[in-house]
Structure 1
Amino acid sequence: MAPQGNTGAGAEAELPEYAGHYRLESCLGSGGMGVVHVARSASGMKLAVKVVHTEFAKDPEFRGRFRQEVAAARKVSGAFTASVVDADPDAERPWMATLFIPGPTLSDEVKRNGPMAPAELRRLMAGLAEALRDIHRVGVVHRDLKPSNVLLAEDGPKVIDFGISRPKDSELRTETGKLIGTPPFMAPEQFRRPREVGPAADIFALGSVMVHAATGRGPFDSDSPYVVAYQVVHDEPDLTGVPQNLAPLIVRCLAKEPEDRPTPDELMRELRSVAASYDTQAFIPAQRTGDEPGPGPRKPASRPRRRPPGKAALAAVAAVLVLAGVLACVQMLGDGGGTAAKGGDKRTAAASGFVGWESNPVPKGTGAVQCSYGTRQLVCARPGTVFALDPSDGTLRWQRSVAESSPSKAPAVGGGFVQPMVDEGRRLEALDPASGKARWRRTLPAHHALQLAGGTLLLTLLDGTVTGVDAATGATKWSRRMPGQPMPTFVSFAGDPLAYTMNLSGDASTTRVTAVDPATGAVRWDARLNGNLTPVGVQDGSVFFLATDNLYGDTDAVVRYTPASRSSDRVKLPVARSDAQATVHGNVVYVLATNGSLDAVDTDAGKRLWTLETSVSRGSVPVADARHVYFTAADGRLLAVDAAEGRLVGQTPARLGSNSGTVAGALPKPVLADGHVYATAPDGTVFAVDARKPSDW
């Protein structure tokens, strides 16, 4: 794998000395998922070993995705990739070892030495076309081809990092500003129709990579990823500086519609006509000195690029593209939407007598506000702060700084106290619901997972030990390991007395589900179910799951398991959904995908009842009652869909505030309580509306 600079000293310091039988010698680089090391086998063979970050090692879903990455990398191992030598997705810190490939990444090469010469470009394009042919032949779509994922080895380019394994908060930009996706190298369908992305998306990326190699920039260029996203979908590429003999091929690769792009075999045929023969010199380009001219600027024979619209127009259209069609939804609703109140002013009373409100209790904070309902109040957390609001009008009741142990999710209420949920802090506190003062404290280990189930906090350590902590006193109730669950992390659902932990099999074909009594640690039932399953709810003694495929992690079915009868029912979705989230009401599972597709699946009838394209690019986990399904969008809107008919019936105004240039990594789900919906927005607002009157929002 590619030599890269170390970008995280903290991440490097936490790494073990060995991964399996391979000794880790030095750090090649650190990324969002893990750290890549130079390593040696017992025989002295040089390897590149990726070791997953601790925080992701604790996540069963991430482990499942890592298994998929390993499986995909093994399938495509060959002349144009870094062959997988060994891997252990079930290790305490999952890892994968590949052959070490000497040579820079294309990104580093262009950065150091400038654009490539025409002959080098022909060889690069031919090599990438061959690599994609072999990758696509085994049924894999890379989906993340870019200069930093191309190694320039002596015998040709190697494609690495298959983009199969990605955390749940991947988006164009996280709250910290870290760029996760790379819009100039993403195809238009990846923005417009994510579930329809196929091999042609890799061809588009190849075209963008070639422009970068030829010019040092992408075919679509802007400081804003959202403007680039607009250009990818609507504008013609800028090919200034691309050699004239390659420009027509690259234009075809960058066609807006997938069916208009060439296949890898067609590319290789046409490249033979561009150059009758290829020389056999080493592929790694010679380094240029400052006195040597690079390829001069050329204006190839291609379609003229349209002049980009003005900044205001771009911002508006980019918001429609990336934040999911605000205008389309407004047109659907007509003039029914209300105007947002300012500074906590009360809004017009609904017919029920409830007055909607909005509040910004921590105006100087950053990061999403996450809330839950308990002890007759709304308890919320923002990085560094926990606070409580009066649910009737949004008045701030109390606020407490928790800078040493910043909550990672919404606070929970158990044992009569407010429990800030901290996964990385060193101190656990139970707060008085009336004042926010700490009533007991407990020191935590550096790395752990925490879940409240009933009146018990379930604390999982890196060695797999689970401890039940009394939420009322902080005392240890029990401590044990869970059979068949080497690294148990739990989920629980309101009103259900049990907690659940999952373990995916090595080949990702089955999931072992263990149901635990949180008060005693006793296993109440244990089952091995077909598929890669994620629990989404419990109703009437049955547990409901989303089932994902073993290649891309798309949801392709809904599963209901009834432990009393040991029966399992599976309802296949007509179309697989990307990064889906779901909720359950009755026997209906509502599945919301990243592109805004909302499906209602009746597990009794064994079929999908309806589907709705909401035009929301990314939504929160939905919640539902008997009438409506509710979820929030990345721009701060709360939307309501009729649960029986599958039509959009209401939405609130967008609330982006000063955070309009970022997209939250995770969207807090709405809270349903006492006939009201409570939601939060990227600008720090917490607001409440009448659940029964979405048309009045």
Structure 2
Amino acid sequence: MAPQQNIGAGAEAELPEYAGHYPLEARLGSGGMGVVHLARSTSGLKLAVKVVHAQFAKDPEFRGRFRQEVAAARRVSGAFTASVVDADPEAGRPWMATLFIPGPTLSDQVKQNGPMEPAQLRRLMAGLAEALRDIHRVGVVHRDLKPSNVLLAEDGPKVIDFGISRPTDSELRTETGKLIGTPPFMAPEQFRRPREVGPAADIFALGSVMVHAATGRGPFDSDSPYIVAYQVVHDEPDLTGIPEDLAPLVLRCLAKEPEDRPTPDELMRKLRSVAASYDTQVFVPAQRSSEAVDAPDPKPLPNASARRPGGGLRRWTALAGGVLALVTCGVLVSIHRADGNPSASGEPSSHATRTSSVSWTTEPAPSAAGFPQCNYGANELLCRQSGVGYALEPADGSLRWRRSAPEECSAGPPVVSGGLLQSCTDGGRRLTALDPATGRKVWQRDLAGPASVHYTGGMALLTGVDGVSTGVDSSSGVTKWSRRMTGVDSFVSFAGDPLAYATRTSDDGTSTQVTVIDPATGDVRWQARLTGTLRPFGTQGGSAFFLSVDRGSGGTKAVVRYDPGSRKSSRTVLPVARQEAAAAVRGNVVYILATGGSLEAFDTNTRQRLWHLETSVSRGSTPVADGGHVYVTTPDGRLLAVDARSGELLGQTRARLGANSDQVVASLPQPVVDGHRVYAAAPDGTVFAVDARRPSEW
């Protein structure tokens, strides 16, 4: 459904220009607590940004509840749940952003296409059970699972909107006399004992959602929310129309007493005997229009009249006595950078904890916030973290040196080129090279104007706004060549490949020009125009590898392999388009991790998928592959190791959240592999090393 334009009267009808640093483009929908706007990140990603109503922004109790919403949503991560990655609950108008994922809500799906088929219902129930498992295992109770809070994405159902969720260890409690939830999907205890609501209430809601998906009505239906409440507490549910093999499970979910309901794990075990496959592609009907997937639940209908069985279930957004129903948000991925530029203080101290000759943990810059970004080069482990740069001894994590570091031209780990630690600052106007062993300055060069800078092959490649590219020797700072290059805006390079790559996509997105140069001379090695919007991510055996991205949705739909020798390309099509995909290549195998935690391996020779693993992380770093493993860093600081041949999860480190874990970086730092060690970093500011040979012992 197309985004709604600004409608209504009063101040709320005016579209705010920004939420934080996100420009707001259109209004997607409105609910009792806030308005959801369409926005785009700096890189062009579609976002759904929830901005609370002005009157609630002045209410201290609501602010506390909104902070709780953000905290609850951030604790949840999984393949079937939504994850918040940027928010400001302390702003004048508190807001929260999520990645915009195309796909109708279950509510809209039933309204537009009628009740689901039995096969769809089984897969929906399995996906929701897994979602609740992910939610409950981090100590969160959703408390408002309903059809408008279930988004039917191409790769499965996503549970969204944690507006009234509460972590079980939270100090925020429901006030006496207030009900929180949506009556047709509330459990009996939410009416009788609202202060004692636990995970079993979400199971009851799952049962109600399944009845709605199968019939278009609820198990307890009435025009009056008071009658619905009475029926939920006292009457038996109406399961007419539920498939025979699912009816017993749904009935158990709707048990009056919480202890009589199944757990998510029990539901999944039972469902495995009912359906052998969870092919979630059937959730998205072929006949729906492109507009139907362009906004998550864009038209809240707080005053819609009730529909009879076979139609859409009435959406209750308010109940006398204070039922809170929040606007549906969508799933998002954030872009947030921790600010600050602390200088080095005191004498260097590593605070390293050694657990073996291989493994260690250290916190080199306790006063700095956020994830350290690290790289291995010149026999040092070099890191940068919120205005501080430092070097660690790879063997034991001891601190070699530490110094203040100006803000770099681009995010990412430190770069060693020409044997020196390179730095680009002042918006691309200054280059500095340091001795990686001591941190002392070797040379510095001010540029005539701002430039995009990339290091490869012992050279700094500068691309100015005038279109002139320049090659500067990284070891001396001396210019080696300069020329104007058509179709070059900036360069990228890949480990083990001395060449530099530049891509430019046509205005209509139908083709991408690839230009490859020798960084030492600036000579063009080869050029090609390839079909589609392509993003390079690696090279192997003389071939270049690209992700093919859909311009409309931003999803990755294929891997393209191009051989410049034969000038032939091949496409490996993904079974489902993946959002925010990051990829690595090893030999002829490509490993892709997408938002939601889906990790897949594809053989580009046979063009077949080798394996698929749901990692249950909301988002992850770009994967790193060595001879036998694939490594990924997660937002909570865990390092995962997956068998590169089978896709089996072999091990993971513990979470390291820290005090500033609510500040989410734009991209997670990649693990660094060096021989038998894997180095990784966490949001608590620690850098650690583990034995690559023994992931099961992490």
- TM-score in terms of structure 1 length: 0.58
Q: Cα offset for 1:575?
A: 2.0
Equivalent residue runs for 1:586-601 within 5 Å: 586-601=587-602
Rounded to whole Å, the distance in 1 between the matches of 2:401 and 2:300 is 67
Match of 2:689 in 1: 688
Does 2:379 correspond to 1:391? no
Q: Deviations over 1:580-637 (max 9, x none)?
A: 1111111100111111111110111221111111112211111111111111111111
Deviation at 1:206, TM superposition (A): 12
Counterparts of 1:36 and 1:445, CA distance in 2: 35
Tell me the equivalent position of 2:437.
Answer: 434
Instruction: Tell me, yes or no, if structure 1 residue 238 matches structure 2 residue 260.
Output: no
Structure 1 partner of 2:507 = 506
Q: Does 1:481 align with 2:484?
A: yes
- 1:559 and 2:560 are equivalent in the alignment: yes
Please report how far the alpha carbon of residue 221 of structure 1 lies from its aligned counterpart in structure 2 after TM superposition: 3.6
Which residue pairs with 1:491 in the alignment?
Answer: 492
CA distance in structure 1 between the partners assigned to 2:424 and 2:697 by the alignment: 34
Shift of residue 461 of structure 1?
3.0
**Matches for 1:513-662 after TM superposition, within 5 Å:** 513-662=514-663
Answer yes or no: is the 8 Å Cα contact 2:428–2:453 preserved in 1. Answer: no
Paired residue secondary structure (2:492): strand
How far is the alpha carbon of 1:554 from its aligned partner? 1.3
Residue aligning to 1:204: 148
Distance 1:456 1:448 in 2: 15
Q: Does 1:671 align with 2:672?
A: yes
CA distance, structure 1, for counterparts of residue 589 and residue 563 of structure 2: 15
Letter paired with 1:650:
G
- Inter-CA distance 296–203: structure 2 relative to 1 (3 Å threshold): closer
Assess, with a 3 A threshold, how the Cα gap between structure 1 residues 238 and 535 changes in structure 2: closer, same or farther.
Answer: same
Which deviates more from structure 2 when the two are superposed, residues 595-604 or residues 461-470?
A: 461-470
Equivalent residue runs for 1:372-391 within 5 Å: 372-391=375-394
- The change in CA–CA distance for 1:445 and 1:553 in structure 2 (over 3 A counts) is farther
Judged with a 3 Å threshold, the aligned counterparts in structure 2 of structure 1 residues 595 and 447 are, in CA distance, closer, same or farther, namely: farther
Say whether the 8 Å CA contact 2:85–2:333 is kept in structure 1: no
Matched to 1:469, the amino acid is V
2:51/2:96 contact within 8 Å kept:
no
**Following the alignment from structure 1 to structure 2, what is the Cα–Cα distance between the partners of residues 29 and 322?**
20
Distance of aligned partners of 1:52 and 1:589 in 2 relative to their CA distance in 1, 3 Å threshold: closer
Q: Which runs of 5+ in 1 are unaligned?
A: 4-26, 38-49, 57-61, 70-104, 115-169, 194-200, 208-217, 241-251, 276-294, 306-320, 324-341, 349-353
| Closer/same/farther in 2, CA of residues 184 and 611 from structure 1, 3 Å limit | closer
Mapped contact 2:370–2:660 kept (Cα < 8 A): no
- CA–CA separation in structure 1 for the residues paired with 2:166 and 2:476: 52
Q: Deviations over 1:126-147 (max 9, x none)?
A: xxxxxxxxxxxxxxxxxxxxxx
Aligned match of 1:453: 456
The answer to whether 1:344 aligns with 2:372 is no
Alpha-carbon distance in structure 1 between the residues aligned to 2:565 and 2:695: 38
Is this contact kept in 1: 2:20–2:88, CA < 8 A? no
How far does residue 175 in structure 1 lie from its aligned partner after superposition?
9.5
Distance 2:553 2:444 in 1: 42
Show the counterpart of 2:320. Answer: 298
Q: 1:645 offset after TM fit, Å?
A: 1.1
How far apart are the structure 2 equivalents of 1:239 and 1:495? 57
Q: How far off its partner does 1:367 sit?
A: 2.3
What residue is the counterpart of 1:172 in the other structure? 84
1:536 partner amino acid: F
Confirm whether residue 403 of structure 1 aligns to residue 406 of structure 2: yes
1:28/1:603 CA distance change after superposition, 3 Å: same
For 1:191 and 1:31, the matched residues in 2 are separated by: 34
Separation (CA, whole Å) in 1 of partners of 2:319 and 2:213: 31
Q: Distance in 1 between matches of 2:573 and 2:471?
A: 37
1:319-354, Cα deviation, whole Å (9 max, x unpaired): xx999xxxxxxxxxxxxxxxxxx9422113xxxxx4
> 2:320 is matched by which residue type in structure 1?
R
How far is the alpha carbon of 1:477 from its aligned partner? 2.4
Contact 1:424 1:447 in 2 (8 A): yes
Query: Structure 2 counterpart of 1:346, which letter?
Result: R
Q: 1:219 to 1:418 in 2, by over 3 A?
A: closer
Task: Determine the structure 1 residue equivalent to 2:420.
Answer: 417
5+ residue gaps in structure 2?
8-14, 26-37, 60-81, 107-126, 132-144, 152-160, 184-204, 218-287, 308-316, 326-331, 335-349
Structure 1 residues 203 and 343, CA, compared in 2 at 3 Å: closer, same or farther? same
Deviations 1:154-175 (A, max 9, x none): xxxxxxxxxxxxxxxx962349
Task: Give deviations 1:211-257, integer Å, cap 9, x for gaps.
Answer: xxxxxxx9934799x99xxx9xxxx96359xxxxxxxxxxx999857
Q: 1:191 and 1:567, CA in 2 relative to 1: closer, same or farther beyond 3 A?
A: farther
Secondary structure of 1:492 counterpart: coil
Give the residue type in structure 1 aligned to 2:545: F
**Aligned counterpart, 1:138:** none
The CA deviation string for residues 274-312 of structure 1, in whole angstroms up to 9 with x for no partner, is: 79xxxxxxxxxxxxxxxxxxx997259x9x99xxxxxxx
Percent identity between the aligned chains? 44
Are the counterparts in 1 of residues 511 and 533 from structure 2 also a CA contact under 8 Å? yes
Q: After TM superposition, give the deviation of residue 368 of structure 1 in Å.
A: 1.7
- Confirm whether residue 29 of structure 1 aligns to residue 30 of structure 2: no
SS of corresponding position for 1:204? helix
Give the 3-state SS of the residue equivalent to 2:651 in structure 1. Answer: strand
- Counterpart in the other structure of 1:214: none
Residues 493-502 or 476-485, more deviating: 476-485
Report 1:325-364 matches (<5 A).
343-348=351-356, 354-364=357-367
> Equivalences for 1:191-270 in 2 at 5 Å?
204=148, 220-221=163-164, 238=181, 259=213
Partner in structure 2 of residue 181 of structure 1: 97
Deviations 1:13-39 (A, max 9, x none): xxxxxxxxxxxxxx97345676689xx
Q: SS where residue 238 of structure 1 aligns?
A: coil
**C-alpha displacement at 1:443, in angstroms?**
2.4
Residue type of the alignment partner of 2:181: D
Structure 2 CA distance for partners of 1:646 and 1:444, relative to 1, 3 Å:
same
| Residue identity matched to 1:453 | T
Distance 1:589 1:516 in 2: 24
For the Cα contact (< 8 Å) 2:429–2:451, is it kept in 1?
A: no
Match of 1:75 in 2: none
SS in 2 for 1:457: strand
| 1:434-471 alpha-carbon deviations (Å, 9 max, x no partner) | 21011111225775422111111122333433322221
CA contact (8 A) 1:405 1:426 kept: no
Q: In the alignment, residue 173 of structure 1 is paired with which amino acid?
A: V
1:465 aligns with 2:377: no
Whether contact under 8 Å (2:87, 2:96) holds in the other structure is no
Contact residue 404 and residue 425 of structure 1 kept, 8 A: no
Question: Structure 1 residues 676, 274: closer, same or farther in 2, change over 3 A?
Answer: closer
- Which amino acid counterpart does residue 449 of structure 1 have in structure 2? S
Instruction: Calculate the TM-score normalised by the size of structure 2.
Output: 0.58
Which residues of 2 match residues 117-136 of structure 1 at below 5 A?
none
Partners of 2:571 and 2:551 lie apart in 1 by 16
